[in-house]
Copies of this chain bind each other. A is one copy, B any other.
Amino acid sequence: MSDKVLLDYGSGGRASQRLVSELFLAAFDNEELSRLNDAAVLDLSGPVAVSTDSFTVDPIFFPGGDIGSLAVHGTVNDVAMLGATPRYLTCGFIIEEGLPMEDLRRIVASMAKAAREAGVLVVTGDTKVVPKGACDRIFINTTGIGEIIVQPTPSAERAAPGDAVLVSGNMGDHGLAILSKRQGLSFEAPVESDSAALNHLIVSLVQSLPQVHVLRDPTRGGLATTLNEIAASSGTGILVRESVLPITDAVRSGCSFLGLDPLYLANEGKFICILPQELAEKALRIMRADPLGRDACQIGVVTEENPKKVILETPIGGKRLLGMLEGEQLPRIC
Contacts and interface: CB of A to CB of B under 8 A. Distances in A.
A129 interface: yes
A303 interface: no
Contact of A331 (B7, B50, B141, B266): B7
Q: How many copies does the complex hold?
A: 2
A54 B84 contact: no
A41 B47 contact: yes
A295 interface: no
Contact of A220 (B12, B35, B50, B229): B12
Most chain B Cβ neighbours within 10 Å, of A39, A49, A145: A39
A1 interface: no
Contacts of A44: 44, 47-48
Q: Report which residue of A8, A123, A134 has the largest number of chain B beta carbons within 10 angstroms of its beta carbon.
A: A134
Contacts of A266: 12
Question: Top 8 closest A-B pairs, CB basis?
Answer: A12-B220, A13-B325, A39-B51, A12-B221, A52-B90, A143-B143, A141-B141, A11-B328
Interface of A: 6-8, 10-17, 35-56, 58, 78-79, 81-82, 84, 88, 90-94, 123-126, 128-131, 133-136, 139, 141, 143-146, 148, 153, 155-157, 216-217, 219-221, 225, 229, 233, 266, 324-329, 331-332
